[in-house]
Chain A
């Protein structure tokens, strides 16, 4: 048991050491994105048309980073500013499920094929689910 514990601790430390540089790089990038891409910049890009706002929403949701609650606050503000519900839903989904900034880390840990398939599917699902969610909300309210 003791030997097993020791081996597990060594293995865990080894993986921590292995991901540390990539983790620090991603965190550094997150700081840059949070500082250089502001909610005001996002607001200027939505125009209220469903398809246009969905494209913009997915694009900017995918490159924005931060705590999920930020996407709700920005999304709420975007709605008030006249962005379409489809676009705001797409923005929130892309914000929490896609991460252009953390892509290099995903590729290096999971390997190229897995990371590519997962991200392409998530990109596609941001559109599909945004449409389904906004459509259902419209029916129910």
Chain B
């Protein structure tokens, strides 16, 4: 991962935003801070899981294996891995970014990472709720098109991002 200071700059901007909004709307801003703490509490277990997976990946899977399963020559198996990985991955997308970048740096192709991120639009734990609100037909059609869309998007991204 490239080292840069954008995180610190961004954190400074957000802190300043809280300060200004805190002066203008103190109650709402305190509520926002509590909401943020709630989000932090929710993502910590997922974050731990992601970093555990990252460590495992670094110990047990070498670059050669990654480029074989997710690299230029990975073929259908690579797409299958990316789409299923995306569907099964849990929690907010940004928590997975460091792991995905790690895979990229070790030879995984860009299209697969793009497909993984888009396939995350299917959230297995929330499918019953989607059926309740929109019905079976919508849920099945949505799932089909999101998987197809993630695949096509991966292929297009791979062409566009080819070095």
Contact = CB atoms under 8 A, between A and B. Distances in A.
Nearest to B95: A23
Nearest to A131: B145
Given A22-B7, A30-B39, A109 B51 contact: no
Contacts of B13: 25
B102 to A, nearest CB: 7
A71 B29 CA distance: 23
A49 B113 CA distance: 35
Interface in B36-67: 36-37, 39-40, 43, 47, 51, 54-56, 58-59
Instruction: Give the contact-size bracket for chain B.
Output: 35 or more
A69 B121 CA distance: 11
Interface in A60-74: 68-69, 72-73
B14 A29 contact: yes
Interface residues of A, number: 63
Interface of A is mostly: helix
Contact of A72 (B37, B133, B152): B133
Interface in B116-139: 117-118, 120-121, 123, 126, 129-130, 133-135, 137-138
B101 A110 contact: yes
Interface string B80-104: 0000000000001110011011101
A114 B59 contact: no
Contact of B138 (A7, A110, A137): A137
A15 B97 CA distance: 11
Contact of A105 (B51, B94, B100, B130): B94
Given A23-B47, A105-B94, 20 more contacts: A4-B59, A12-B58, A21-B10, A27-B36, A28-B11, A32-B14, A35-B29, A68-B126, A73-B133, A109-B1, A109-B98, A109-B101, A113-B161, A114-B161, A118-B114, A121-B157, A129-B149, A132-B145, A137-B141, A140-B137
Interface of A: 4-5, 7-9, 11-12, 15-16, 18-32, 34-36, 68-69, 72-73, 75-76, 89, 92-93, 96-97, 99, 102, 104-111, 113-114, 117-118, 121-122, 125, 128-129, 132-133, 136-137, 140-141
Interface of B: 1-4, 6-8, 10-11, 13-15, 17-18, 21, 28-29, 31-37, 39-40, 43, 47, 51, 54-56, 58-59, 92-94, 97-98, 100-102, 104, 110, 113-114, 117-118, 120-121, 123, 126, 129-130, 133-135, 137-138, 141-142, 145-146, 149, 152-153, 156-157, 160-161
